[in-house]
């Protein structure tokens, strides 16, 4: 392919570009606010993913792909100024994404076997970057240009190909700008990605990284002034998980902070947004965003943030941090031990019960991350990955934890080839969250309700403002397992938050059936003064006495705790008549029955139950109204 005439215009007029950062952030949460990053089998596989998401009305409109290496598009250098680009696979992906009505958060990396200092084939698959080959090591007499010129032309042609203006277009059917945001690199400041680190030394420096930012920004903006240039995802790891002060955080990984400070001194003229990889504990984001805001302000600028990886996995790392040769102790207790292998052995005796717990925990952690990201006024939040291609022959625990991090279960898919059957609870739970906070102002409010209570209010023009809430002490350790304590149940008084006498409790899906369909949990209605919460987030809405759910009349409100249940079950209620109780399993069998039970200080000894879901049926004797309360063992 010959160099575009428009690129020659770029050479002539590049000095006229206005490089001021554009205001990329709108104020209302829309479908485009939610994104998902994908890895997967091949580009055509994503047509099936899009189709399944459309059938299920998953409202995620922005698709992240940070694996577009220069090497993949142009594996051989140009000859006498003529490029030989390979767009076929990317064209297939872009076209299927266009037909699905979505747009790209597209990441590019200057990884090349011929155009960069360190060969692309020697880098890590996920994030490898290397400085562009300098002019002194290029071969313009053969290529017709230097490596830097070839990189600029690649960026220009990439943006021009998919910007919808019919110039250099890949497909006439694609008549809109498909690249919403163009992200430069992925974790470039991480050791072993751009700077010297764990496995290799790609020869990176801050000056060389800044050069890449400048080349991409000027070139992409010339091709499409509306494109949003993003500074590739910065990953602080877990150094902010326990909310340390800046001095402690710096001591844990000084190389991260030093490289960013040097970059900020250069200025932020060459990107519009700063992206963050957010794949550890949900508490880390606010600390990191606060540090970044302060550091940027000290250098005279500010930028909106994009959370490009609100990780759908739970503690994917072993929860330690490493700087140089010193390995530090764990910052926070993990729900799982570092050597988990249960996902490797589907034939093991307790595989299904442990996997069920894993799926619930994945929902729990992911919802918290998405909520925390929105509370920090992010431009866009994205979950990674949707699907990871499985390799069940390599029994590496950490790899399996990553493979099981997506919306679809890779083991089920590889055995059934059915995306529908492979749907995980997280698939449905994030749909719930998206639908509930859609249309709200992006700037949610964190409520101060006491120690270890996380509550976030979303403001809607309708006035029906949802609150997401949970309670968790991150350092409460179970003495028997030496792991993070579960079932941290408390009652919280929300009368200062809700003017209504009752609160409707909406639960997130945390189980699916054999067909991958969501097992929905009925809403509860509880007194505003006594709302039960624990470490699993719930959605709350104000409720009047005329809109009590679960077949409950005004006074027939029952608070049942703890849930998940232990040996004893407690019931609180303002109702003062006799009640009948039945404990029912999901097959409809009655496991426990007690008639004409007095509810004064009611405590019930629960029979031995296996792990699973149960329904407590409460019948009020006075008017035979029925309450159905879901319990988890």
What DSSP line would sit under 408-476, residue for residue?
Answer: B-HHHHHHH--TTTTB-HHHHHHHHHHHHHTTSBS--EEE--STTEEEEE---TTS---EEEEE--TT-
Query: Computed from CA positions of residues 557, 563, 569, 570, in that sequence, does the dihedral angle turn out positive or negative?
Result: negative
pLDDT at 599: 57
Strands 34-37 and 467-471: unpaired
Say how far apart CA 382 and CA 65 lie, in whole Å: 11
Please give the structure tokens belonging to residue 605.
């000894």
Please enumerate in sequence order all residues whose Cβ is within 8 A of that of 539, keeping only pairs 6 or more positions apart, or say none. 432, 433, 436, 466, 467, 468, 505, 506, 507, 508
Closest CA to 534 of 476, 582, 480: 476
Closest CA to 526 of 535, 537, 539: 539
* Strand stretches in 315-428, DSSP E: 322-323, 326-327, 380-383
Strands 559-561 and 531-533: unpaired
Q: What is the pLDDT of residues 127-170, one digit of tens each?
A: 778 999 999 999 999 999 999 999 999 999 999 999 988 777 77
Say how far apart CA 387 and CA 191 lie, in whole Å: 26
**DSSP H or E run through 91:** helix 88-99
pLDDT at 622: 67
Contact 187/253 with Cβ under 8 angstroms?
no
Say how far apart CA 480 and CA 487 lie, in whole Å: 14
Contact 37/309 with Cβ under 8 angstroms?
yes
Domains of the chain, CATH where assigned:
31-437 (3.20.20.80), 558-633 (2.60.40.1220)
CA 9 to mean position of chain CA atoms? 40
CA 71 to mean position of chain CA atoms? 28
Residue listed under structure tokens 């035979």: 624
Query: Computed from CA positions of residues 211, 213, 214, 218, in that sequence, does the dihedral angle turn out positive or negative?
Result: positive
DSSP 3-state of 625: coil
Distances in Å between the alpha carbon of 394 and those of 126, 458, 584? Answer: 18, 44, 42
DSSP 251-266: HH-HHHHHHHHHHHHH
Residue listed under structure tokens 């001095």: 247
Say how far apart CA 320 and CA 324 lie, in whole Å: 13
386, with CB counted inside 10 A (0-12, 13-18, 19+), is buried
Termini Cα distance of the chain: 63
Say how far apart CA 139 and CA 159 lie, in whole Å: 25
58, with CB counted inside 10 A (0-12, 13-18, 19+), is buried
pLDDT at 582: 85
Please give the structure tokens belonging to residue 68.
């577009």
DSSP 246-312: HHHHHHH-HHHHHHHHHHHHH-STT-SEEEEEE-S-TTHHHHHHHHHHHHHHHTT----EEEEEE-S
Please enumerate in sequence order all residues whose Cβ is within 8 A of that of 151, keeping only pairs 6 or more positions apart, or say none. 70, 110, 115, 132, 215
DSSP 3-state of 155: helix
How long, in residues, is the chain? 633
Q: What is the pLDDT of residues 219-277, one digit of tens each?
A: 999 999 999 999 989 988 888 988 899 899 998 889 899 999 999 998 788 999 999 98
Say how far apart CA 106 and CA 68 lie, in whole Å: 8
Q: Give the distance between the most distant pair of CA atoms in the chain.
A: 95
CA 502 to mean position of chain CA atoms? 32
309, with CB counted inside 10 A (0-12, 13-18, 19+), is buried
pLDDT at 294: 95
> Which residues in the chain land under pLDDT 70?
1-26, 40-43, 124-126, 171-172, 198, 312-330, 334-345, 389-403, 545-557, 574, 576, 596-601, 622-625
82, with CB counted inside 10 A (0-12, 13-18, 19+), is exposed
């Amino acid at each position: 392919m010959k160099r575009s005439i428009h690129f020659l215009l770029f050479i002539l007029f590049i000095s006229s570009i206005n490089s001021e950062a554009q205001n990329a952030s709108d104020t209302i949460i829309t479908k485009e606010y939610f994104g998902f990053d994908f890895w997967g089998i091949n580009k055509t596989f994503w047509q099936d993913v899009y189709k399944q998401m459309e059938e299920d009305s998953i409202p995620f409109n922005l698709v992240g792909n940070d694996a577009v290496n220069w090497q993949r598009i142009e594996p051989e250098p140009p000859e006498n100024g003529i490029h030989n680009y390979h767009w076929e696979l990317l064209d297939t992906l872009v076209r299927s994404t266009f037909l699905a009505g979505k747009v790209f958060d597209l990441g590019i990396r200057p990884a090349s076997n011929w155009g960069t200092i360190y060969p692309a084939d020697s880098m890590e698959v996920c994030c490898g970057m290397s400085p562009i080959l300098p002019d002194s090591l290029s071969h313009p007499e053969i290529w017709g240009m230097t490596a830097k010129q070839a990189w600029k032309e690649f960026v220009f042609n990439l943006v021009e190909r998919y910007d919808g203006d019919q110039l250099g277009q890949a497909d006439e059917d694609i008549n809109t700008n498909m690249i919403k945001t163009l992200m430069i690199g992925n974790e470039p400041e991480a050791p072993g990605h751009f700077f010297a680190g764990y496995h290799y030394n790609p020869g990176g420096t801050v000056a060389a990284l800044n050069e890449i930012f400048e080349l991409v920004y000027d070139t992409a903006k010339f091709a499409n002034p509306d494109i949003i240039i993003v500074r590739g995802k910065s990953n602080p790891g877990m150094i902010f998980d326990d909310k340390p002060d800046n001095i402690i955080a710096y001591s844990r990984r000084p190389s991260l902070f030093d490289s960013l400070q040097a970059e900020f001194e250069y200025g932020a003229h060459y990107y519009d947004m700063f992206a963050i990889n957010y794949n550890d504990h949900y508490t880390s984001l606010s600390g990191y965003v606060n540090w970044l805001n302060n550091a940027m302000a000290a250098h005279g600028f500010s930028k909106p943030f994009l959370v490009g990886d609100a990780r759908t996995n739970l503690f994917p790392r072993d929860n330690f941090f490493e700087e140089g040769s010193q390995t530090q102790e764990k910052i926070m207790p993990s729900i799982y031990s570092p050597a988990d292998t249960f996902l490797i052995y589907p034939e093991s005796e307790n595989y299904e019960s442990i996997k069920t717990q894993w799926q619930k925990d994945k929902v729990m952690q992911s919802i918290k991350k998405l909520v925390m990201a929105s509370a920090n006024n992010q431009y866009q939040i994205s979950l990674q990955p949707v699907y990871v291609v499985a390799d069940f022959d390599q029994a590496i625990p950490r790899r399996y934890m990553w493979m099981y991090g997506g919306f679809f279960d890779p083991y089920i898919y590889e055995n059934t080839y059915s995306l529908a059957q492979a749907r995980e609870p997280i698939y449905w739970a994030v749909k719930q969250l998206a639908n509930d906070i859609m249309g709200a102002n992006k700037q949610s409010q964190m409520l101060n309700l006491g120690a270890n209570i996380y509550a976030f209010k979303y403001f809607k023009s309708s006035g029906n403002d949802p609150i997401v809430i949970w309670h968790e002490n991150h350092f409460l350790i179970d003495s028997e397992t030496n792991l993070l304590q579960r079932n941290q149940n408390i009652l919280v008084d929300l009368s200062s938050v809700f003017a209504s006498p009752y609160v409707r409790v909406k639960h997130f899906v945390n189980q699916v059936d054999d067909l991958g369909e969501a097992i929905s949990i009925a809403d509860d209605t509880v007194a505003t003064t006594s709302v039960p919460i624990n470490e699993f987030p719930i959605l709350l809405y104000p409720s009047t006495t005329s809109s009590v759910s679960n077949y409950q009349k005004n006074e027939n409100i029952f608070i049942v705790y703890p849930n998940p249940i232990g040996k004893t079950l407690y019931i609180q209620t303002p109702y003062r008549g006799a009640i009948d109780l039945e404990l029912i399993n999901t097959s409809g069998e009655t496991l426990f029955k007690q008639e004409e039970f007095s509810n004064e200080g009611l405590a019930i000894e629960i029979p031995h139950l296996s792990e699973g879901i149960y329904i407590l049926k409460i019948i009020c004797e006075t008017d035979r109204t029925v309450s159905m309360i879901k319990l988890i063992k």
